[in-house]
């Protein structure tokens, strides 16, 4: 994960680590390399620039030039700023409703159905949760079948209504089914399209307005870098979602989406997907991710 970025940042900061004292030129050169590493990772230009400016200000504010271990201090400042950029503290799910309703949104292929299963499994393993998965993709029967396969795999019930072409009605019926059968979490998988389009946005917004979920989550493929950030912005403009799910981080060597998305949409990344298996889900902790990136 993010190997390229880790290597480049390590190289940029390594130069300072050996020094007992450093000059302003050293700091400027290092931050130039840090900025280049961020750009190579597909971080937006403006974000990369702001990032290095902030680190520079903090470095000078904390008298990095006269500190005892200037290299270490610079590494810490970069790590802290990366943590901040990725969201600061980890944010959990709001599971306050009875049942708690979680609505999944995102493009086709982003990993929505897989993640719906992973989340159901994650919550089921908490023992106090009895999730129900609801299949609201009325366009692709294969998507409904896929959710049933996932549900069978993790032993979680799936509600679907294959002849029904009204996703709002299916979502409502799914929630009624959950109430009648003692499910305390409902995870609603919706249809995605290959690109952002108005019909999809209207549909998901209609479902959201009708069922008032505690959590509307936006699922996005981390490997798509800046595209992921742009898609997040388009969805957030319409849905004002509550959190981001970054999938396929196992295949993402760059890291641009993970680093930029929070500051563009101002919504936390709540979970990450790190593989195709149902167990490949992790709560997203910005500080742990920053530790991983900086080794």
3-class secondary structure, 191? coil
CA pair distance 158, 177, nearest whole angstrom = 10
Size of the site for ligand GDP (CB under 6 A): 18
Q: Which residue has the tokens 């049933």?
A: 148
Q: Which residues contact 232 (CB under 8 A, 6 or more apart)?
A: 218, 220, 244, 261, 264, 265, 267
β strands within the chain, DSSP E:
100-106, 131-136, 158-159, 185-190, 215-221, 243-247, 269-273, 281-283
Choices 4-12, 162-170, 224-232, 272-280; region in contact with ligand GDP by CB under 6 A:
272-280
Q: Give 47 or 232: the residue with its C-beta nearer to ligand GDP.
A: 232
248 marked ligand binding residue: yes
H/E run at residue 22: none
Q: Which of residues 187-226 bind ligand GDP (CB under 6 A)?
A: 192
| Residue 18 Cβ vs ligand GDP, minimum distance, rounded to whole Å | 38
97 sits near ligand GDP (criterion: CB under 6 A)? no
Q: Give 111 or 268: the residue with its C-beta nearer to ligand GDP.
A: 111
184 sits near ligand GDP (criterion: CB under 6 A)? no
274 sits near ligand GDP (criterion: CB under 6 A)? yes
273 sits near ligand GDP (criterion: CB under 6 A)? yes
110 marked ligand binding residue: yes
Backbone angles phi, psi at 110, to 5 degrees: -70, -20
| Residue 248 Cβ vs ligand GDP, minimum distance, rounded to whole Å | 4
Q: Which of residues 51-80 bind ligand GDP (CB under 6 A)?
A: none
Q: N- to C-terminal Cα distance for the chain?
A: 12
| Residue 16 Cβ vs ligand GDP, minimum distance, rounded to whole Å | 35
- For residues 235 and 227, the answer to whether their CB atoms sit within 8 Å is no
Provide the annotated binding site for GTP: 106-113, 189-193, 247-250
Enumerate binding residues for ligand GDP (CB under 6 A): 106, 108-114, 192, 247-248, 250-251, 273-276, 280
């Amino acid at each position: 994960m993010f190997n390229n970025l880790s290597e480049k940042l390590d190289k940029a900061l390594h130069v300072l680590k050996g020094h007992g004292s450093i000059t302003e030129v050293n700091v400027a050169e290092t931050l130039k390399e840090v900025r280049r590493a961020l750009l190579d990772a597909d971080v937006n230009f403006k974000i990369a620039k702001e990032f290095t400016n902030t680190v520079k200000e903090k470095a000078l504010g904390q008298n990095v030039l006269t500190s005892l271990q200037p290299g270490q201090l610079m590494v810490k400042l970069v790590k802290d700023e990366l943590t901040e950029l990725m969201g600061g503290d980890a944010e959990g799910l709001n599971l306050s409703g009875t049942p708690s309703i979680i609505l999944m949104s995102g493009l086709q292929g982003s990993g929505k159905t897989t993640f719906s299963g992973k989340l159901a499994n994650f919550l089921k393993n908490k023992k106090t949760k009895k999730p129900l998965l609801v299949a609201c993709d009325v366009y692709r029967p294969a998507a409904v079948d896929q959710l049933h396969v996932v549900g069978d795999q993790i032993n979680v019930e799936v509600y679907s209504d294959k002849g029904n072409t009204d996703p709002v009605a299916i979502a409502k019926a799914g929630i009624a089914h959950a109430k009648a059968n003692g499910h305390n979490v409902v995870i609603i998988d919706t249809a995605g399209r290959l690109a952002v389009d108005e019909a999809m946005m209207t549909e998901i917004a209609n479902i959201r307005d009708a069922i008032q979920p505690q959590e509307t989550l936006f699922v996005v493929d981390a490997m798509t870098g800046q595209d992921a950030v742009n898609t997040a912005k388009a969805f957030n403009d319409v849905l004002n979602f509550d959190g981001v799910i970054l999938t396929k981080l196992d295949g993402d060597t760059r890291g641009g989406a993970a680093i930029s998305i929070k500051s563009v949409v101002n919504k936390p990344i709540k979970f990450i997907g790190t593989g195709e298996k149902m167990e490949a889900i992790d709560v997203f902790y910005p500080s742990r991710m920053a530790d991983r990136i900086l080794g």
